[in-house]
Structure 1
Amino acid sequence: MEGEQDRSRSQEAKARLEALEAAARPTFWGYLGCELVSAGEDRAVIALQVRPEHLNLAGIVHGGVLASLLDNAMGLVAILACPGERTVTTGLNVHYLLPSSEGLLTCEAALIFRSRRTLTLEGRIADNKGELLVWGSGTFRRVT
């Protein structure tokens, strides 16, 4: 019986993630080119294939693209941590460590603290070689 319940919950969670990603496709998420890799209640991984329009005049990925990638990944975790509620970004700290100009970028975000009204998360962006490019933190507020 427990196995069936676990399978059912897993299928429900997968269907919810697929629906969430489909709903995000026509928004800035899709415009930027974000793709869901994996997600759970307190962690998510998204990816972005670098395209020419992601670069700045110096030929490296624009800082705004990287900040948006962090915000999207952390926002996804906030949405999953507070099902049925609206959450908004109230603070975003971004530390640019290394530049990148091509390849697949992967952003992992994790919930690190939760209070009654706010969530605090951290995120990391790595390149396809596993080099840490960006580290950031964010706060999100529940605005149900």
Structure 2
Amino acid sequence: MNDSGNERPRDARKKLEALEAAARPTFWGFLGCELASADGDKAVIALQVRPEHLNLAGIVHGGVLASLLDNAMGLVAILACPGERTVTTGLNVHYLQSSSEGRLTCEAELIHRTRRTLTLEARVADNKGELLVWGSGTFRRVT
């Protein structure tokens, strides 16, 4: 992460660690999200599939996958607007394949920005690299 263009990597890493620690007692932590990386306008989060993530069909619940997209894109929005509040105003989810075990990875990227809104896209893949979900989201700055 390099928000300001001149922030030292060590300082950026400490900010990310503090942000993840603050998120642990929230839905982020309840779901089991983990920060894998964040740099500039991109972030990667991961989730180890647990039995409580599955639906009655034995596959990862669509709400878990949508939450991964929203959490990863939300993280990028937070990093893009430091010190400001951002909220999800739209979330589009395209379910492509199912999964029932392993580690899921979600990569999110900022693709457009205006004065008040951010548009992002994200992908969830399984531990074999198979694309499970693709989505886009819009976020609004509310400060």
TM band (smaller chain):
over 0.9
More helix by share: 1
Once residues 143 and 90 of structure 1 are traced to their aligned partners in structure 2, the CA distance between those partners, rounded to angstroms, is: 11
Displacement after TM superposition at 1:41 (Å): 2.3
Displacement after TM superposition at 1:9 (Å): 1.2
> Counterpart in 1 of 2:118?
119
Once residues 54 and 23 of structure 2 are traced to their aligned partners in structure 1, the CA distance between those partners, rounded to angstroms, is: 23
> Counterpart in 2 of 1:109?
108
**Contact 1:95 / 1:134 at 8 angstroms: preserved in 2?**
yes
* 1:15 aligned partner, one-letter code: K
Displacement after TM superposition at 1:40 (Å): 1.6
Superposition misfits of 4+ residues, deviation over 6 angstroms: none
* 2:67 aligned partner, one-letter code: S
Once residues 140 and 39 of structure 2 are traced to their aligned partners in structure 1, the CA distance between those partners, rounded to angstroms, is: 19
Once residues 41 and 54 of structure 1 are traced to their aligned partners in structure 2, the CA distance between those partners, rounded to angstroms, is: 30
* 2:11 aligned partner, one-letter code: E
How large is the Cα RMSD of the aligned pairs?
1.2
* 2:112 aligned partner, one-letter code: F
Give the TM-score taking structure 1 as reference length. Answer: 0.94
Give the TM-score taking structure 2 as reference length. Answer: 0.95
Structure 2 residues not aligned, in runs of 5+: 1-5
* 2:51 aligned partner, one-letter code: P
* 1:92 aligned partner, one-letter code: L
**Contact 1:50 / 1:103 at 8 angstroms: preserved in 2?**
yes
Where in structure 2 are the equivalents of 1:1-144 lying within 5 Å? 9-144=8-143
- Report percent identity of matched pairs: 85
Once residues 136 and 44 of structure 1 are traced to their aligned partners in structure 2, the CA distance between those partners, rounded to angstroms, is: 14
Once residues 30 and 40 of structure 1 are traced to their aligned partners in structure 2, the CA distance between those partners, rounded to angstroms, is: 21
Displacement after TM superposition at 1:79 (Å): 0.1
* 2:115 aligned partner, one-letter code: R
Give the greater-gyration-radius structure (CA).
Answer: 1
**Contact 1:40 / 1:80 at 8 angstroms: preserved in 2?**
no
Structure 1 residues not aligned, in runs of 5+: 1-5
Query: How many residue pairs are counted as aligned between the two chains?
Result: 139
Once residues 130 and 79 of structure 1 are traced to their aligned partners in structure 2, the CA distance between those partners, rounded to angstroms, is: 26
Once residues 24 and 41 of structure 1 are traced to their aligned partners in structure 2, the CA distance between those partners, rounded to angstroms, is: 20
